[in-house]
Amino acid sequence: MVHVYNCHPFSSQQIVQVEQEPGLVCCGGGALFVVATGGCKVEAYNVEQEGCPLICRFATMGTVKSIQHSKIGDYLVTIEEKNSAIYLRAYTNWRYQAEEKARVGVRLLGHLLGGASVRGGVQMEIIEIPLSERPVAVACCSIRGDLLVACENTLVLFTLRRQNQQSLVALCGGYVAIQAELEVLVLKLDASSEAKIMEESSDTNKADHLEDQTDFLVLQRNQELLGDRAKDCDIPVNIEKTGLEDIGQYTLSYVLFRRFSPDFFQGCNVEETQVHSLQLYPLFTSNQSVSLEEPACMFCFFSLPNTGYLYSLKGGVELLSTYQYPEKVLEAVLTDFLLHVITKSALQCFTVRCAAVAARIEDPYIDTTMKACPPSSLEVCALRMQLFIGLRSVCVYGRHVILLSAADTETQEETERTTQRRGLELKEHTMLTGIFLAVGIDPANTPALESFLSRPFLSRKWTISSPKETSTVGHGWNLYVIDTVNPLTLYQEMVEYSQRYAETNLQAQSLRHLLSEAHLLLRASLVQTSGQQQNIVGDPATSLQTEVDRPSEKETAVQTDIQELEEALRQNCAQLGDCFSRGSQKDCHLALPYYRMSGLSVTEIIARNRPIPKSTPSYGPGFLFYLKHYLIEETEQSLSQEGADEVIDIFSQSDPSELVSMCASPSMVNISPARTLRILQRLQDTAGVSVPLTITMATMMLLLDDLPQYTQLMERHAEMLLVYGFIEEPRLLLHGGGQHTHIRPTVLTRQLAKSQPGLLVAAIVALHENNKVQLEHADHIFKELGCENCLQVDFWEAMLMASSQEAVIQELLFRVACFYIDQLTNSDTHLNAPSRRRPLKNADELIHSCSHYGALYPWLTVLSPAHTISCQHQEALHKLQSLLCGPSLSVGSVMPLLERLSEETLWGFSLHLLCATRRGQYDRSIEKLLDRCPQAIIAYANHQLQDKHMVLWWQKLLPELCNRTRAAPDNSILLAALKETLVVVAMETSPTEFLELIPDDGTASYFLPHLLTCTQRHLLV
């Protein structure tokens, strides 16, 4: 289906003052080239100046049958006839032929002329290009300047080279498109360093034997093969090397094949129902430079008399649009913005979908809740039909559409036959049998065209008829240059046009469609304008700035255009947001990204969606979807009290179940609490009591400073149910935390920190474990509350009990150890500090409830600190000791921190001894313990010297005690320790081993009782 909108894409029209009837026209390089009917002279007119003044004219060497211009290299290529022979020629430096007075040089392809042309290119050169077959059609690449020549069975590809360039030219991603009667084939040429074998179809020319039968007319069925399936067509294509190509191997892959059955549309005969206007069209995105070798998008367009087809080739072959023409179309030309088609009596414009494809390639996240773009499958529309008489051909240069019209006195049948017989003669580059686009090349040097590949192609019939002599009576012709309007002007007309659809809901679909067309028009304009800006910046002529580095006039003008287009795009997004906000449930979600792209504030969007006064208050699903997601997602923009109250009214009327979520939004901090509380109470009366609703009502009571009512509401549910309520709606406690916002506590969070710290800690732990808040965000909240030395540590300790993530556990263990060490380091400050809040969990509770805290080793009780230590100091010491006794804390991670603690105190000594023991330094620990606190040695040995460390009783502890007792015989502590040690040694060793341990210094009588015990135990065993 094609939508029809009577917009005006054309701004002006002028007639080119040509002396003789134009037979062929083409355009490029700012010029319009005209060849008189049956003539041997080319005239070039400047289409970028008012009146299209003559640039130059020059004679050709034969009668021109086809003419093309290459933007890159600025050369003309012609198919000419002379003495019944067909020639292919290229004309370079043609601009020097003003009034036919400049010199002309003629050479064969590959043979350079000496003299002026080599030194400076001050004369026109005519290059003869010999071919083994008769040339039928030519096409020039708009990006690289390469030349494709179609012969009856062969495609010959020439590459534009500078004289000092030897590398292979990339060919626009390697795409080649060819048409033949009712078939279209798109191929891709790939270059590689390894030789590959081209796969050929095994069932070549399946229908050839049928076509030779004269008794039947065989009509082949319609067929479309996309991607790899296209190789199943019956057209074999081989690569034949000429020996002139650069090193490397080439393979051809099939991209697209389309075959049509003849469609006798509106009286067309068989000859008229052929594919025409084949065109490959590249498109660069706004973040690309046009100097890149490969454009981001590649499109293929071709047409039948009644239907046109637009395909996207990159990223998967896809049919974007099908154009249904109201009458037979003679030619069509695709541009960034529009498709221009001509019939015998009209020029018509259709919209295109190239910008939709480019937008999705440029930004993969375009179809999200943040951004949107109309789909590439959007139905096309026709903008306007401009009437002319006897249109013959069309070509486009920039915003100039060039039309050739010729009306004569022939009968209608004769006119139609003449038009058909003209065939290729009247066609510009969009009517050629093959178009090949490549990537740009610097045309500054004199170009030369060198053949490097030839393509034996289709065994298809290429039809080219000899032109009929033009009637000499009653003939009239005109050559028109029609300027298209500025895209911004066309957009504004589309907006005005759309207003008539906004009056009734029945035409909402047409309104949305037209605004989507306007959106794509603006996107295409932005892509094109951004490309112009890059070209200006990269142009050496404009890159030289003044001393103050002021931008050039071109840069300023382009930047102004970009700003105007961006502002128009924002307005268009707002209009599309309005459409989808009131639309059906199916696509209402698109209101969100379009409103976001509009740059409007939520207050402005609310104002655009207010119901009409004195009507039933109702809001579209798209608007509610937008408003809900805007308020759910974190934002630093706060609504005024009036705006927040209006939001509450909107949802109380349209979706009361979302009221709690809306009240919890950070944008609603200025809400009227008394008014909202009444609405929430009505919701409670109708929907029943829920935990999030109760908490929300309690928050409103806090805002009203009604603490008794607040307390009563919070006591309505058990603490664990309240925690579940916070999990359901975290924003009751925390605001922010998004990409551009900082997390901050709510008024309820501050109240809980004062009155119910345990509930607050439990809630934030639950939020973390349910991925509602990150660890650093929780830390920030406690710092905001001023509780980093109390509730924050309680939170860490609670997290150690709840978390199962090893990385989180290790981080928390290090944090709490640092905190405990910090408290012990600043013990003097703690002794004189005022009493602090009691921790939620003491050391004993943590030992019994958290596996990361271990029971204190028995020998640590002997090293207990003196009574002068504060309670907080003692709690920190016991918790740190418990961590060091537990299984999880890495001693190595806290050793540098423990260096801050002195061993002069027993509690400090106990921590260092714990670390040395955890690190397996038992020998050193025994010595240090005997030096500092020998009364704890037996308790230490009984706990630590077990299993594989049992041997240390007699290898280390016994000798140490013997030596120390000998030195201090009156030390009762050492003597008692020695006796306990001998008891253990006597039980664990044999009599022979025990005898070896007894010292030989005359004190053997002291060891005899233990030796007797050892002997008796041995005999019993």
The b-or-e profile of 190-204 (16+ CB within 10 A means b, else e) is eeeeeeeeeeeeeee
Distance CA 82, CA 465 (A): 16
Considering just the CA atoms, what is the radius of gyration of the chain in Å? 45
The count of other CB atoms within 10 Å of the CB of residue 277 is 27
Whether residue 161 contacts residue 72, with contact meaning beta carbons closer than 8 Å, is answered with: no
Name the token pair of 707: 């603490």
Residue (of 483, 481, 484) closest to 18 by Cα position: 481
pLDDT at 112: 62
- Give the mean pLDDT of 645-665: 93
- 101: its two tokens: 């007075």
718-723-726 Cα angle (round to 5) = 130
What would the pLDDT profile of 2-55 be if each residue is shown by its tens digit?
667 667 777 778 888 888 888 888 888 888 899 988 888 888 898 888 888 888
Note the pLDDT tens digit of each residue in 305-339: 889 999 999 888 999 999 999 889 999 999 888 99
Q: How far apart are CA 928 and CA 913, in angstroms?
A: 8
DSSP code, position 9: -
Angle between helices 621-632 and 591-598 (to 10 degrees): 60
CA distances from 911 to 95, 678, 813 (A): 94, 60, 16
User: How far is residue 664's CA from residue 678's CA, in Å, rounded to a whole number?
Assistant: 16
Once rounded to an integer, what is the mean pLDDT over residues 452-464? 35
Mean pLDDT of the 840-857 span: 92
Query: For residue range 131-165, what is the model confidence (pLDDT) as tens digits?
Result: 888 888 888 877 777 888 888 888 888 877 644 33
Choose the most confident range, by mean pLDDT, from 62-71, 97-106, 403-412.
Answer: 62-71
Q: What is the C-alpha to C-alpha distance for residues 394 and 346, in angstroms, rounded to an integer?
A: 11
pLDDT in tens, 217-241: 455 677 888 888 888 887 887 777 6
Tell the CATH topology of 3-197+218-484. Answer: Methylamine Dehydrogenase; Chain H (2.130.10)
Query: In whole angstroms, what is the distance from residue 236 CA to residue 17 CA?
Result: 48
CA 232 centroid distance within chain: 35
Q: Mean of the pLDDT values across residues 93-105?
A: 73
pTM: 0.73
Q: Is the pLDDT of residue 632 over 70?
A: yes
Predicted pLDDT at 965: 84
Beta strand 104-108 with 124-128: parallel, antiparallel or unpaired? parallel
Average pLDDT of the chain, as a whole number: 79
Q: What pairs with residue 184 in β-bridges?
A: 179, 258
- pLDDT: is 167 or 461 the higher one? 461
Read off the pLDDT band of 296 (50, 70, 90). confident
Token couple for 383: 């903008």
Query: Percent of the chain having pLDDT more than 90?
Result: 31
Residue whose pair of structure tokens reads 């809980």 in the numeric block: 752
Encode pLDDT of 951-988 as tens digits: 888 888 888 888 888 888 788 888 888 888 888 887 87
Q: pLDDT value at position 884?
A: 92
- Asked if residue 939 has pLDDT above 50, the reply is yes
The residues that bridge with 396 in the sheet, in sequence order, are: 401
Distance CA 14, CA 49 (A): 11
pLDDT computed for residue 386 by the predictor: 86
Q: Which two tokens stand for residue 396?
A: 């486009």
> Domain residues of the chain, as ranges?
3-197+218-484, 945-1020
Which is more confidently placed, 198 or 581? 581
Cβ atoms of 452 and 483 within 8 Å: the answer is: no
Q: Which structure tokens are listed for 13?
A: 């029209």
User: What number is the average pLDDT over the span 392-416?
Assistant: 74
Q: How far apart are CA 866 and CA 372, in angstroms?
A: 71
Using one digit for the tens of pLDDT, what is the confidence trace for 490-534? 898 888 888 777 666 556 788 888 899 999 999 988 888 776 655
pLDDT tens for residues 789-810?
688 999 999 999 999 899 999 9
* pLDDT exceeds cutoff 70 at 457: no
Residue 156, pLDDT score: 82
Q: Is the pLDDT of residue 727 over 70?
A: yes
Q: DSSP letters of 827-884?
A: HHHHHHSPPPPPPSS-HHHHHHH-TTSPPPPHHHHHTPPPTTS-HHHHHHHHHHHHHH
Sign of the torsion formed by the C-alpha atoms of 825, 829, 830 and 832: positive
What does the alpha-carbon distance between residue 379 and residue 1015 come to, in Å, rounded to a whole number? 106
Angle CA(638)–CA(642)–CA(646) in degrees, nearest 5?
95
H helices, E strands: number in the chain: 35, 34
Residue of 576 and 527 predicted with greater confidence: 576
For the segment 92-118, the average pLDDT, to the nearest whole number, is 67
Tell me the sheet residues that pair with 954.
none
Q: Report the DSSP pairing between strands 297-303 and 31-36.
A: unpaired
Helix (H) or strand (E) holding 372: none
Mean of pLDDT values over 448-452? 36
Query: What does the alpha-carbon distance between residue 746 and residue 669 come to, in Å, rounded to a whole number?
Result: 9
Note the pLDDT tens digit of each residue in 674-718.
999 999 999 999 999 999 999 999 999 999 999 999 999 999 999
User: If DSSP codes are grouped into helix, strand and coil, which group holds residue 246?
Assistant: coil
Expressed in angstroms, the distance from the first to the final Cα of the chain is 105
In sequence order, which residues have a C-beta less than 8 Å from that of residue 192 and are 6 or more positions away? 248, 249, 250, 251
Q: In angstroms, rounded to a whole number, what is the distance separating the alpha carbons of residues 448 and 109? A: 8
